[in-house]
Amino acid sequence: MANISDTEQFIIDVSPFAGENLEILLYSVRSPDAPCFTAPDLCGWPGGTNVSNFYLYDEDWPPREGWPILVELFTIKTPYLVEPFEEFLVLAMMSFIKQGATVSWCMFEGAFGGIQPLFTPWIAQNSYGIAIAGRSPKLAISAYSRNQGTWLHEFELALEYVNDQHPKLRGFLPPPTNTSHSNI
């Protein structure tokens, strides 16, 4: 069996169905009273690339009225990736941070399981990009890099930052795992 590159594996991972477009899933957390996000700029993406969005709600969440955050999902469907696709991912996440997102991240299809497990180790392993307001965005394209303690630590920082920015969530989101910089 031939070895495949990290980029080839990444393309397989963001291809939900053979023969269809690749799907880049960008999630962002914002205050419900903040303006809706605008879609990231698709300049430089291949022709035929499009983006759609919707708000994620969890049936276990309190009623929308008074809930301290909204999670917005933007799905970029593209026929293929072009170099430097990593830069395009960073720019897309940063576009939401510039619009006021507390945190923005890229996650594989099927990994979002609601608000409570939002920044757990399992979510970190199933996410390949994260941007936290005031910090440099990070990518983890390879499975190896997504399993490093430094990657999990980014999600611990995201959880702390979301809790700091949205104190009504304290006690609802799980506490950080405190595994900083060790392997998962």
Give one DSSP letter per residue of 27-63, joined into a string. EEEE-TTSPPPPPPP-TTSPTT-EEEEEEE--TTSPP
Give residue-wise pLDDT tens across range 147-178.
Answer: 999 999 999 999 889 888 888 777 666 565 55
Six token digits for residue 175 = 């506490």
SS3 label, residue 56: strand
What is the per-residue DSSP string for 83-109?
SSHHHHHHHHHHHHHHTT-SEEEEE-T
Q: What is the pTM of this model?
A: 0.85
pLDDT value of position 13? 86
What is the three-class DSSP state of 19? coil
Condensed to tens digits (0 to 9), the pLDDT of residues 79-138 reads 999 888 999 999 999 999 999 999 999 999 877 776 666 778 888 899 999 999 999 999
- Return d(Cα 76, Cα 40) in angstroms, integer: 9
Do you find a cis peptide bond into 84, omega within 30 degrees of 0? Answer: yes
Beta-strand relationship, 103-107 and 127-132: antiparallel
Q: Find where tokens 């917005």 sit.
A: 72
* pLDDT higher than 80, residue 57: no
% residues pLDDT > 90 (the chain): 48
pLDDT for 64 equals 54
SS3 label, residue 70: strand
Q: So what's the pLDDT on residue 69? A: 82
Task: Judge residue 119's burial from the number of C-beta atoms within 10 Å of its C-beta, 0-12 exposed, 13-18 middle, 19 or more buried.
Answer: buried
Percent of the chain with pLDDT over 70: 81
Q: Which two tokens stand for residue 32?
A: 């419900």
Instruction: Say how far apart CA 184 and CA 122 lie, in whole Å.
Output: 10
Q: What is the pLDDT of residue 184?
A: 38
Q: What is the model's pLDDT at position 60?
A: 57
Give the residue, 70 or 4, on which the prediction is more confident: 70
